[in-house]
Amino acid sequence: MPQGLQVWDASGNLVGDVTDYYGRVTNVVDIPASTSSSVTISVPASGTQSQMLLPTSGTFTPGDVTDAPSISIVGTTLSYSNASAKGFKLIMGVW
């Protein structure tokens, strides 16, 4: 007998199945305004990595990346330089 997980909404539509991809958050990094630093992050052995950068202070216009910090990852070290007066939160995950 097959086993698995399926989820339906109130209208009876299938909204989740074990064959779907589900992500998980692997790291959350606060990037304060006007700072540069490095942090150690966990790097999953498999999966497709993704990132989301969210402003946490100041005003933000969707699509405007002129104030976004410079971010680099080498191995398990994430380095950032934020010259902006805005703070950010970097959310990293894997699918």
Predicted confidence at residue 77, as pLDDT, reads: 93
The number of CA neighbours under 13 Å toward the Cβ of 90 is 23
State the Cα–Cα distance between residues 37 and 16, nearest whole angstrom: 39
Mean pLDDT by 10 residues, the chain (95 residues): 77 83 86 94 86 82 78 93 91 90
Give the gyration radius of the chain's Cα atoms: 18
Predicted confidence at residue 46, as pLDDT, reads: 83
Predicted confidence at residue 2, as pLDDT, reads: 57
